[in-house]
Amino acid sequence: MPDFQKNIDSILEEVKNSSAIGTVASYIPELATVSSAKFGIHLIDANQQTYAAGDANEAFSVQSISKVLTLSMALGILGEEIWKRVDVEPSGDPFNHLSLLEQENGIPRNPFINAGAIVISDILVTQLKNPKEDFLNYVRKLADDSTISYNESVAISEKETGFKNYAAANLLKSYGNLNNKVEDVLDFYFHQCSLSMSCKQLCDTFYLYMNRGKCKRNTSYLTINQIKRINALMLTCGFYDEAGEFAFEVGLPGKSGVGGGIVALLPNKFCITTWSPGLNKKGNSARGMQALERLTTMTELSIF
């Protein structure tokens, strides 16, 4: 195995000085309060050795990274049934685009664009007794960390400004692909996106996607086949209309969020999270992508 600490220390130096820092998301006003100078990186290997640099322990808004976790919970409860309501194809469109949804009669292209994630939220609102509480407990169990919480200010901020998500949910409802009330589903969706976690906590949570479905305490949450499918979706759809570029530059399955986080993993080897709030034009962390490109190039470790 390469010297991960040496690699991430030198990546931090390189990327801190990069001029392509990106722009912090402001369409959710609460996200715009975060400094674009932040940069954190944390890596956990298959033996649970950890390596960190920069702001790796500072919590940030995970946003769309949460979509992997809701998908996992829904898949764990309902199994293959969920694919009747959401497809598994890359969209080639930005995360919040709606035109394909109309063309394809209310079946979202995949569970990581907003419309697809809203269908998954609808499934959880139906299936769970106390959806927000039960989902939070699920994440806490995966991470083995009871301190993980929602950020209410971020959830409220998005509730007040998430017009495109209201549009998506209403379109889904008009096609009969939303069983609960729009307000209830979006309240859950805005909360899942508002989860506040550090790079370290995200690595602890995503450890199971690298470890064939078993979390750090060796409890099995997903089958090897389910992990195969979720990792495939992260590779093909995890970065929206930049999924091809991420596979090309980095070569790992992963998931981004507009809070500036990216989680990526190499099955059976390691899981890594970067956080840098400045986003590129496609809504993915600019310096996070650079850092991950450097890591897989330096270590010559990727799925390819």
Annotated catalytic residue: which of 67, 159, 173, 200?
67
User: Is 67 assigned a catalytic role?
Assistant: yes
Alpha carbons 200 and 56: distance in angstroms, whole number: 6
Cα of 217 vs its chain's centroid, Å = 22
Question: How near is the Cβ of 279 to ligand GLN at its closest, in Å?
Answer: 9
Question: How near is the Cβ of 43 to ligand GLN at its closest, in Å?
Answer: 22
Tell the burial category of 132 from Cβ atoms under 10 Å away from its Cβ (0-12, 13-18, 19+).
middle
Q: How many helices (H) and strands (E) does the chain have?
A: 12, 10
Q: Which is nearer to ligand GLN, 8 or 154 (CB)?
A: 154
Catalog residues that contact ligand GLN under the rule CB under 6 A.
63-64, 95-96, 114, 158, 165, 193, 257-258, 283
Annotated catalytic residue: which of 138, 150, 189, 209?
189
Question: How near is the Cβ of 96 to ligand GLN at its closest, in Å?
Answer: 6
Q: Which of 42, 41, 24 is nearest to 33 (CA)?
A: 24
Q: Which is nearer to ligand GLN, 189 or 270 (CB)?
A: 189
Q: Which is nearer to ligand GLN, 91 or 165 (CB)?
A: 165
Q: Length of the chain, please?
A: 304
User: Is 198 assigned a catalytic role?
Assistant: no
Beta bridge partners of 220: 214
| Dihedral, 63, 64, 68, 73 alpha carbons, nearest 10 | 60
Q: Which is nearer to ligand GLN, 165 or 231 (CB)?
A: 165
Question: How near is the Cβ of 42 to ligand GLN at its closest, in Å?
Answer: 19
Q: Which amino acid is at 26?
A: S
Q: Please tell me whether residue 193 adopts helix, strand or coil conformation.
A: helix
Alpha carbons 281 and 260: distance in angstroms, whole number: 13
Alpha carbons 64 and 227: distance in angstroms, whole number: 18
Q: Terminus-to-terminus CA distance in the chain, angstroms? A: 17
Question: How near is the Cβ of 158 to ligand GLN at its closest, in Å?
Answer: 6
User: Is 51 assigned a catalytic role?
Assistant: no
Write the DSSP symbol of residue 215: -
Q: Which is nearer to ligand GLN, 27 or 83 (CB)?
A: 27
Active site residues: 64, 67, 189, 240, 258
